[in-house]
Amino acid sequence: MARRAFTFLILICCATICPVFLLENGMALTPIMGWLHWERFTCNTDCYNDPDNCVSEKLFMQIADIMVTDGWKDAGYEYVCIDDCWLALTRDKEGRLQADPDRFPGGIKKLADYVHAKGLKLGIYQDVGNRTCAGYPGSYGHYDIDAQTFAEWEVDLLKFDGCNFINLDILVEGYKNMSRALINTGRNITFSCEWPLYLWPFQTPNYTDIREHCNQWRNSGDVFDSWKSVTGIIDWTANHQQLLVPFAGPGAWNDPDMLVIGNFGLSPDQQVSQMIIWAMMAAPLLMSNDLRYIDPKAKALLQNKNIIAISQDPLGKQGYKIASVNNFDVWERPLSGDRYAFAVTNRYELGGPRHFPIFMATVPGWRRCFPTCLIATVFPNYVELGEHSFLSQYKFTINPTGTVLFIVSIPPKTKLLNNLNKRAGLKLNRTWKNLNTIQRKDDYF
Ligand SMILES: *[C@@H]1O[C@H](CO)[C@@H](O)[C@H](O)[C@H]1NC(C)=O
Ligand SMILES: *[C@@H]1O[C@H](CO)[C@@H](O)[C@H](O)[C@H]1NC(C)=O
Ligand SMILES: *[C@@H]1O[C@H](CO)[C@@H](O)[C@H](O)[C@H]1NC(C)=O
Ligand SMILES: *[C@@H]1O[C@H](CO)[C@@H](O)[C@H](O)[C@H]1NC(C)=O
Ligand SMILES: *[C@@H]1O[C@H](CO)[C@@H](O)[C@H](O)[C@H]1NC(C)=O
């Protein structure tokens, strides 16, 4: 049985692209979920004037407490992650990193113990160069000792930034060396890289290489608390999806950066869009917000178990933009169990809600539904809509900058027919083409 499953896996893999190698640390088999301080708390080190919001052990302990008491942990959020600005300005006498003694009086080991006692994991931050982006001591020349230090502190994740490198060769070598150094500690440490982000201005990154050394990797710039920033990342990812999507899978993910839901810059509809498209992109779900004071609607969205189930789908395939029709963006993500998730964003920022009908011109994947598929709306509400014929033209209403999410399941009889039809290929394509022309005439907006 196990053997047959294994052969099956190999077959699937080689039929697509064969990115067989990956960082073999058993981590991030589904996109990780958690919290990261950067976007919301940045490099606030002023604990004297702003004790509640400065980067300090108190903040991370409070977040860990709330992750347990307010349902975040139960929803799947597991990592509490420190970003830049946790360090003291110098290493200790033995050349080891140390946390800022005023802001982290207990030290990182004690914070890790605290977080672990809650059943959560702790993430930390360092940089491949001599200095971090904010100017604290970097890991260059200290990869082994720093990895060892993190392992001794029982850290579970390292976000490794790429500021202050001297040249591209050293940057790439540094990421590889740190990856090996982490493995050599014997502790399972999720490795979150920014290697491709720093290469893109100069060359196309080698994703085969990156996948072998990192569990997740940032491709595009830092997310800000704005719709412009979020759509910038979404569009960048769609424009590079042919390159990026094949490299994502269990243990290896493209990282479009943090969820900024629950902050100030996104409208309720835009928050919905970020949550859904991040789930479609099989992105790490790392929130950067203030869980101590979060709007109930944002909380319900971030904890929506049906969206999270799509993010965490065991097939581990990243979704892609499949169509742009009439200012609607359509995303498709293959799911386990002969299912596909579809997300449709209304990108028209004028007027009111618009109607989007499902049919082959708008949802190319709908051609799999001959003669029928089952449709379930996942967001705004989970509703099973039953069996629909491929001619159905079921309509959704979508607010400007909002997104709807639905799942299409292919029943066994349709799957069987699809396989038979594949053999009759050409004839069937003509039929599809005719149907498409007929349907395109319908006014659907
Ligand atoms: C590392 O993770 C793997 C797979 O999840 C697990 O089997 C192993 O026990 C872990 N090793 C340590 C040292 O925790
Ligand atoms: C770090 O600093 C040392 C000493 O100044 C220098 O030799 C080295 O090239 C620097 N490394 C990077 C990655 O900037
Ligand atoms: C990476 O490790 C190799 C082998 O130990 C070493 O020769 C090289 O200088 C290291 N590169 C960097 C950037 O640390
Ligand atoms: C990319 O990296 C892989 C793995 O290290 C290597 O085999 C391959 O030759 C590299 N490709 C290019 C174009 O450099
Ligand atoms: C039918 O159309 C699909 C999708 O456009 C295409 O991939 C396939 O090659 C076509 N089959 C034939 C036999 O032309």
The CATH number of the domain where 330 resides is what?
2.60.40.1180
Please give the single-letter amino acid code of residue 4: R
pLDDT of residue 436: 54
Q: How many CB atoms lie within 10 A of CB 402?
A: 22
* Whether residues 295 and 326 fall in one domain: no
Given 311, 346, 380, which residue is the final one in a domain?
311
Q: How many CB atoms lie within 10 A of CB 398?
A: 23
Measured torsion, CA atoms of residues 83, 89, 93, 98, in degrees rounded to the nearest 10: -20
* Whether residues 297 and 334 fall in one domain: no
Q: Are strands 79-81 and 403-409 parallel, antiparallel or unpaired?
A: unpaired
Whether the CB-CB separation of 175 and 128 falls below 8 Å is answered with: yes
CA separation for the pair 410, 250 (Å, rounded): 24
Question: 329 - beta bridge partners?
Answer: 324, 345
Whether the CB-CB separation of 154 and 113 falls below 8 Å is answered with: yes
* Whether residues 54 and 172 fall in one domain: yes
CA separation for the pair 126, 11 (Å, rounded): 38
Sign of the Cα pseudo-torsion (160, 164, 168, 171, in order)? negative
Strand order in the sheet with 253-255: 253-255, 216-218, 190-193, 157-161, 121-127, 79-81, 33-36, 285-287
Name every protein residue with a CB atom under 6 angstroms from any ligand 2 atom: 129-130, 140, 164-166, 170
Distance 429 CA to ligand 5 centre (A): 6
Whether the CB-CB separation of 260 and 289 falls below 8 Å is answered with: yes
pLDDT of residue 22: 82
* Whether residues 297 and 342 fall in one domain: no
Mutual orientation of helices 143-152 and 168-184 as an angle, nearest 10°? 40
* Ligand number nearest to the C-alpha of 421: 5
Question: 321 - beta bridge partners?
Answer: 331
Residues 6 or more apart whose Cβ sits within 8 Å of residue 340: 332, 333, 334, 365, 368, 407, 408, 410
How would you write the pLDDT of the chain (445 residues) with one tens digit per residue? 333 333 334 434 444 444 457 887 899 999 999 999 999 999 999 999 999 999 999 999 999 999 999 999 999 999 999 999 999 999 999 999 999 999 999 999 999 999 999 999 999 999 999 999 999 999 999 999 999 999 999 999 999 999 999 899 999 999 999 999 999 999 999 999 999 999 999 999 999 999 999 999 999 999 999 999 999 999 999 999 999 999 999 999 999 999 999 999 999 999 999 999 999 999 999 999 999 999 999 999 999 999 999 999 999 999 999 999 999 999 999 999 999 999 999 999 999 999 999 876 678 788 788 788 999 999 999 999 999 987 888 899 999 999 999 999 999 988 888 777 776 665 666 666 665 554 444 433 3
Active site residue 222: yes
Residues 6 or more apart whose Cβ sits within 8 Å of residue 76: 33, 285, 308, 312
Distance 64 CA to ligand 2 centre (A): 37
Within-domain flag for 427: yes
Question: 89 - beta bridge partners?
Answer: none
CA separation for the pair 285, 353 (Å, rounded): 28
The single-letter DSSP state of residue 302 is H
Residues 6 or more apart whose Cβ sits within 8 Å of residue 409: 337, 338, 339, 373, 374, 376
Within-domain flag for 198: yes
Whether the CB-CB separation of 301 and 272 falls below 8 Å is answered with: yes
CA separation for the pair 98, 100 (Å, rounded): 7
Give kind and range of the element (H or E) at residue 343. strand 339-346
CA separation for the pair 42, 205 (Å, rounded): 28
Ligand 1 site, residue 185, Cβ cutoff 6 A: no
Ligand 5 site, residue 425, Cβ cutoff 6 A: yes
* Ligand number nearest to the C-alpha of 211: 4
The single-letter DSSP state of residue 226 is S
Q: Are strands 383-389 and 372-379 parallel, antiparallel or unpaired?
A: antiparallel
* Ligand number nearest to the C-alpha of 208: 4
Within-domain flag for 5: no
SS3 360: coil
pLDDT of residue 414: 85
Within-domain flag for 147: yes
* Whether residues 279 and 362 fall in one domain: no
Q: How many CB atoms lie within 10 A of CB 386?
A: 9
* Whether residues 295 and 332 fall in one domain: no
CA separation for the pair 211, 189 (Å, rounded): 15
Query: How many structural domains does the chain have?
Result: 2
User: What are the angstrom distances between the C-alpha of 120 and each of 64, 74, 86, 190, 301?
Assistant: 7, 11, 19, 14, 21
Ligand 3 site, residue 65, Cβ cutoff 6 A: no
* Whether residues 289 and 408 fall in one domain: no
> pTM above the 0.85 mark?
yes
Given 285, 311, 337, which residue is the final one in a domain?
311
Within-domain flag for 351: yes
Within-domain flag for 6: no
pLDDT of residue 6: 38
Whether the CB-CB separation of 266 and 233 falls below 8 Å is answered with: no
Within-domain flag for 366: yes
* Whether residues 289 and 331 fall in one domain: no
* Whether residues 38 and 173 fall in one domain: yes
* Whether residues 303 and 400 fall in one domain: no
Given 311, 337, 362, which residue is the final one in a domain?
311
Distance 207 CA to ligand 4 centre (A): 8
Within-domain flag for 2: no
Distance 443 CA to ligand 5 centre (A): 27
Distance 214 CA to ligand 2 centre (A): 24
From 140, 171, 173, mutation site for ligand 2 pocket: most ligand atoms within 8 A of C-beta: 140
Domain hosting residue 349, numbered range: 320-440
* Whether residues 325 and 307 fall in one domain: no
CA separation for the pair 342, 365 (Å, rounded): 9
Active site residue 100: no
CA separation for the pair 2, 439 (Å, rounded): 46
Please give the single-letter amino acid code of residue 433: K
pLDDT of residue 433: 63
Atom 10 of ligand 4, residue of closest alpha carbon: 206
Ligand 1 site, residue 188, Cβ cutoff 6 A: yes
* Whether residues 140 and 210 fall in one domain: yes
Q: How many residues does the chain have?
A: 445
Q: Single out the catalytic residue among 222, 235, 290, 338.
A: 222
Q: Is 311 exposed, middle or buried (0-12, 13-18, 19+ CB in 10 A)?
A: buried
CATH classification at residue 251: 3.20.20.70
Atom 4 of ligand 2, residue of closest alpha carbon: 130
